[in-house]
């Protein structure tokens, strides 16, 4: 079965010209929507200048699929492997702040890519981008990538609540409006299922590890061990247990204001599987089922998501 897109691209929906709209705080660049408050066309134009390193730790995930949680796991794995004490971890974080390095590749000012070269190895590189928009140097250097997915219904609900608390996309809109925007790609990063289709082409790439939010929730210990092995982090079972405690939802929420500032309240809401049932109507659920079946169910990543387990009543 041929891969299918789910909707017309935002470029076709909104016209061929890249633009920033003051109405909703989004801008269109190269066919994709981005939040103007944390990104800019100037930054995206220079994405190709990012110089990857072979030992970079790259985390990729569509918005609200669990990237903040998994990023903290990776930071803790690196710290345990490098035997960093708390002071060393604090210094590395402070360096990020001093260099004003925004947390995701596509965020921040255009000069960030040059400043990132001053960061010590191993660098944690995060992005929400679809593969063809990721800097080529990452693939050319064969930097290892962890690509994260989450069931689409929970992703939509988490994204909706996030949009209500943050001024990154049109907020305070009704769920029904957001759902329509989400499935039609009128939110930053476009149609989520298109990311599944795009990444499925890399399913056999030995430098890419695919993981789901749900499997990490089911067995965090196993997930951490797989990540450690993939990125060649040398950690003990004792390290793994300590990391599980440090990266529990409760622990991360308690330290949220310290690690993520004002965004913490929106970032750390519930951290559960199955919350989609709190908002999806029967009609919306069937619509998502139909689109998933049509476009992603046949892919290996689609099968990894165990859609029938997590997205059916």
pLDDT at 76: 94
pLDDT at 202: 98
SS3 track for 159-198: HHHHHHHCCCCCCCCCHHHHHHHHHCCCCCCCCHHHHHHH
Cis peptide before 147 (omega within 30 of 0): no
Residue at 5 is within a domain: no
Q: Which two tokens stand for residue 72?
A: 């903290």
pLDDT at 88: 80
Residue at 82 is within a domain: yes
Q: What is the CATH number of the domain that holds 136?
A: 3.40.50.300
**Nearest partner of 203 among 303, 280, 95, judged by Cα:** 303
Residue at 278 is within a domain: yes
Residue at 110 is within a domain: yes
pLDDT at 169: 58
Residue at 1 is within a domain: no
Structural domains of the chain, count: 1
Residue at 4 is within a domain: no
pLDDT at 266: 44
Residue at 149 is within a domain: yes
| Measured distance CA(105)–CA(92) in Å, rounded | 18
pLDDT at 168: 57
SS3 state at 294: helix
Residue at 2 is within a domain: no
190 sits in the region (left: phi over 0; alpha: psi -120 to 50; else beta) called left
For the chain, which ranges sit under pLDDT 70? 1-24, 166-172, 254-271
**Nearest partner of 100 among 112, 113, 88, 89, judged by Cα:** 112
Q: Which two tokens stand for residue 89?
A: 């971890």
Look up 195 and say whether it is catalytic: no
Q: How far is CA 170 from CA 90, 181, 290, in A?
A: 35, 10, 26
pLDDT at 254: 63
Q: Is the CB of residue 116 less than 8 Å from the CB of residue 101?
A: yes
Identified catalytic residue from 128, 161, 260, 298: 128
Structural domain span for residue 195: 10-310
């Amino acid at each position: 079965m041929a891969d299918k897109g789910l909707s017309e691209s935002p470029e076709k929906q909104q016209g061929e010209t890249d633009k920033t709209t003051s109405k909703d705080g989004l801008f269109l660049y190269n066919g994709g929507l981005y939040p103007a408050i944390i990104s800019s066309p100037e930054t995206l134009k220079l994405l190709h200048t990012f110089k990857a390193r072979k030992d970079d730790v790259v985390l990729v995930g569509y918005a609200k699929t669990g990237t903040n949680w998994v990023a903290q796991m990776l930071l803790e794995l690196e710290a345990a492997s490098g035997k960093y004490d708390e002071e060393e971890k604090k210094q590395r974080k402070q360096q990020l702040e001093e260099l004003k390095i925004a947390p995701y590749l596509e965020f921040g000012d255009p000069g960030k890519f040059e400043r990132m070269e001053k960061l010590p190895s191993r660098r944690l590189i995060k992005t929400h981008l679809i593969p063809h928009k990721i800097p080529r140097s990452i693939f050319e250097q064969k930097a290892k990538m962890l690509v994260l997915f989450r069931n689409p219904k929970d992703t939509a609900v988490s994204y909706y609540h996030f949009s209500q608390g943050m001024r990154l996309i049109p907020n305070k809109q009704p769920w029904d409006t957001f759902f329509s925007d989400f499935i039609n790609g009128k939110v930053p990063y476009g149609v989520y299922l298109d990311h599944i289709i795009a990444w499925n082409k890399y399913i056999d790439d030995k430098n890419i590890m695919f993981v789901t939010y749900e499997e990490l929730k089911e067995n965090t210990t196993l997930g951490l061990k797989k990540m450690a092995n993939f990125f060649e982090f040398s950690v003990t079972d004792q390290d793994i247990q300590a990391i599980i405690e440090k990266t529990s939802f409760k622990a991360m929420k308690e330290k949220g204001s310290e690690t993520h500032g004002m965004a913490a309240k929106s970032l750390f809401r519930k951290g559960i599987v199955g919350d989609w049932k709190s908002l999806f109507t029967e009609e919306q659920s069937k619509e998502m089922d139909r689109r998933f079946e049509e476009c992603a169910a046949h892919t290996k990543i689609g099968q990894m998501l165990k859609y029938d387990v997590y997205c059916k009543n």
